[in-house]
Amino acid sequence: MSAGDIRQRHPDGNSNLDEDVVSETKHERKTSGRWIGPFFTALVVSIIAMAVGFILMPSPVESEEFILPDPPELSGPYEPNDILKYAERLYSGKLQGPESIVVDGDHIYVGTADGWVNDIYKGEVRKLVRFGKEPCGGIENENTCGRPLGMRMDKNGFLIVADGYFGLFQVNVVTGDYVQLFSSSTSVNGKQVKLVNDLDFGSDGKIYFTHSSSKWNRNQFPMIFLEGVPNGRLLVYDPETKVVSELMDGLLFANGVQLTKDKSAVLVVETLKARVWRYDIKTRKAFIWTDNMPGFPDNIRYSKSTGTYWVGMAIIRQKGSSLIDVLAPKKWLRGQLAKVMTIKTILSFIKMFSTSGTTAMAVELNENGTAIRSIQDKTGEVIERVSEVESSNGVFYFGSFDGNYLGRLYTKRIPGFNNKNT
């Protein structure tokens, strides 16, 4: 067909036949318009009504604003690197969420999402003890199953475990027998002790431990963030009197605990403020030891081989794209989001945070809390996330709150990686 043909046909377009078609189309449009109009009006009205209804619905939380400084530039000690790619994954698929690790001779102890404290011996994962009861495995069952989080070996060879739901336990690693030292159902200073998280020992055998919230359980943890009310604490258990007392309050997700090398102070991670406190045992005063970390810190552990403290980043903060940073000052929005937090949405929340392909990072701090180095996996290929760095004779083990393996890194394999003793 040529252009001429079209031009010639055009005048024919005004034939009677075509006119009928046109008027029919017009008619159709008119009829459909007759109901599309009201339909859209009804739709818009109901969307607005639903939105208004949703907004008027009371939020389960009265959210508070909290301020986070802009995340630090990824330079200096945070310079992107792929040192964690020298690591390897052990026991893939045999461990779900080994958050905390204790290495003791030939044994490695890890607590997992199925509620078990496991004893890994000669390459075999053995279930040692569980404080709750079946059903286990799903986050919805954690209230009755339990979730071992922080763990340490005391000087008498007992494994002391902080279970997120039940409290503190002293475990005989030979028999699996245990004694509950502190029950989470006990209030301290009139406030509930929820989400018992991590622990360490003072020189006198006292157990310094954190709980992340006075209101929310571990399987409700996004609520701590959405509410933004800092009511996590540092507590201390006295084995002589069996009394627990409060040392610090007002922490927004209190997490990792580590005594300083000289045992004069307790380092306490405040996850949602991306910082670490130093609580002086003698003066009972606390100050911020390290601030504005490049991620949300989880556990902190002293490493003898490097003579420094290592902090695992649960979630990386990136300028402009860190959801927690963006929502921190928006308390109204967080209050709205809290309305849709069911176990199901919490699970998708976790999935959202757990998507691999983001940077895994652990940060090394010197005795003054200054960051001096970081080890990273930029793409999360080998190590997806670090909840804890447990160091044993220059070998690092990495925990993860949701990975299904134990990470291991021989630091001597890393070119230029300085260990204190090498």
Question: How many amino acids of this chain bind ligand NAG (CB under 6 A)?
Answer: 3
Look up residue 378 and give its two tokens. 């930029």
Contact 248, 222 (CB under 8 A): no
Compare residues 204 and 280 and give the one whose CB is closer to ligand NAG: 280
**250 near 230, Cβ under 8 Å?**
yes
CB closer to ligand NAG out of 173 and 371 = 371
Binding mask 360-379 for ligand NAG (x = CB under 6 A): ------xxx-----------
Q: Could you say whether residue 404 binds ligand NAG (CB under 6 A)?
A: no
Q: Is 59 in the site for ligand NAG (CB under 6 A)?
A: no
Is 264 one of the binding residues for ligand NAG (CB under 6 A)?
Answer: no
Q: Tell me how far CA of residue 334 lies from CA of 194, 228, 271, 322, in angstroms.
A: 21, 9, 18, 15
How far apart are CB 375 and ligand NAG at their closest, in Å?
19
Rounded Cα gap, residues 104 and 97, in angstroms: 20
List residues bridging with 354 in a β-sheet: none
> Across 25-104, where does the E strand assignment appear?
88-90, 101-104
Cβ nearer to ligand NAG, comparing 18 with 367: 367
Concatenate the DSSP letters of all residues of 132-197 into one string. Answer: S-SS-SSGGGHHHH--EEEEEE-TTSEEEEEETTTEEEEEETTT--EEEEEETTS-BTTB--EEEE
CB nearer to ligand NAG: pick between 373 and 385: 373
Q: Does 14 bind ligand NAG (CB under 6 A)?
A: no
Residue 262 interacting with ligand NAG (CB under 6 A): no
Q: Positive or negative CA dihedral for 416, 417, 421, 422? A: negative
Output 213 or 308, the one with its CB closest to ligand NAG.
308
Q: Residue for token digits 């010639």?
A: 8
H helix or E strand, kind and range, residue 7: helix 3-9
Q: How far is the CB of 265 from ligand NAG (least distance, A)?
A: 13
Phi-psi region at 25: left, alpha or beta (left = phi > 0; alpha = psi -120 to 50): alpha
C-beta of 361: minimal distance to ligand NAG in Å? Answer: 21
As measured in angstroms, the least distance from the Cβ of 276 to ligand NAG is: 15
By beta-carbon proximity to ligand NAG, the closer residue of 202 and 369 is: 369
CB of 278: closest distance to ligand NAG in angstroms? 12
Applying CB under 6 A, does 280 fall inside the site for ligand NAG?
no
Nearer to ligand NAG, 70 or 367 (CB): 367
Task: Write out the residues near ligand NAG by the rule CB under 6 A.
Answer: 366-368
